[in-house]
Copies of this chain bind each other. A is one copy, B any other.
């Protein structure tokens, strides 16, 4: 289902469909952990021993172009990638650095209010929250 979608979208835009591209998208589509390029690479390495980081980066660039991936910049050294492309806020744990979605929140009223108060023509946005995840909060208490 996912793969069909990717295959069609790649072909439509004149990109070739390769095992590497499908594999990279599959990793992103199957996780909610917002992996970095390095994490995607490490996950694929066992199954695709010749996979290279360069291919991961090149593929992500294409996936972004055809709208299948969004790029996150949660204030770390590296970018993270998300196959859930509908815009939603993200939260990063400052202890363990995990990044989670905040999908239960309706941001539209806030976005409209901002768009209405600036002379910019707003075309997109990213909301990043920072804090301590439930697991790390528990760990703190057991001390």
Contacts and interface: CB of A to CB of B under 8 A. Distances in A.
A120 B91 contact: yes
A122 B100 CA distance: 12
DSSP majority for the A interface?
mixed
A143 to B, nearest CB: 16
Interface residues of A, number: 36
A49 interface: no
B131 A121 contact: yes
B121 A130 contact: no
A73 interface: yes
Interface stretch (A1-9, A12-20, A35-43, A110-118): A110-118
A56 B124 CA distance: 31
A126 B121 CA distance: 20
7 contacts: A73-B73, A75-B126, A91-B122, A100-B120, A104-B117, A120-B129, A120-B134
Interface of A: 71, 73-75, 89, 91, 93-94, 100, 102, 104-105, 107, 109-110, 113-114, 117-134, 137
